[in-house]
Amino acid sequence: MIVKDIMQTDIEKVDASVNVKEAARRMSAKKIGCLLVVEDHKLLGIVTEDDIIKKVVVEGKTPHSITVAEIMEREVVRISPDETIETAAEIMTQKKIKKLPVVGGKKLLGIITATDMVAAEPRMMEHLGELLLFAKKPQRIAG
């Protein structure tokens, strides 16, 4: 099975200029853990719940005065739609991430998550076991 067979194409996107409070409101309303930062179908970055917690809340910053561009991850790990889901699982496990944008050429096509892979192919649980265990361990925040 390949990535394009199970990727989500209805992607929640955000402009880099949107403030963090609005981004968090959108994530909450849609019950999702990230937004992809896009301009003209080009992936610029990703902003996650962890980014908001670690870079805004913990730092005592005001969410409505910080833009997504200020906290987003610019070095986004991505995958081609023609890669296997096993490759996607390996990348997620190695990078300790649960969301993987799907990019063809320079255009954002979709997103694949650990949950998508487990739902699509139960044997992915074996590949993702390490990632899921990592996600349940409390994270220490430097500072």
Q: Minimal CA–CA distance to 98: which of 115, 73, 85?
A: 115
Provide the pLDDT for residue 117.
Answer: 81
**Domain count along the chain:** 1
pTM higher than 0.95 for the full model? Answer: no
Whether residue 28 is contained in a domain is answered as: yes
Give the count of beta carbons closer than 10 Å to the beta carbon of residue 38. Answer: 20
- Of 22-26, 104-108, 138-142, the range with the highest mean pLDDT is 22-26
Residue 82 token pair: 């023609």
* CATH assignment at residue 33: 3.10.580.10
Q: Express each pLDDT in 90-109 by its tens digit.
A: 999 999 998 999 999 889 99
Whether residue 141 is contained in a domain is answered as: no
Provide the pLDDT for residue 137.
Answer: 58
3-state secondary structure of 63: helix
How far apart are alpha carbons 104 and 140 in whole angstroms? Answer: 35
Which residue range(s) make up the domain with 110?
Answer: 3-136
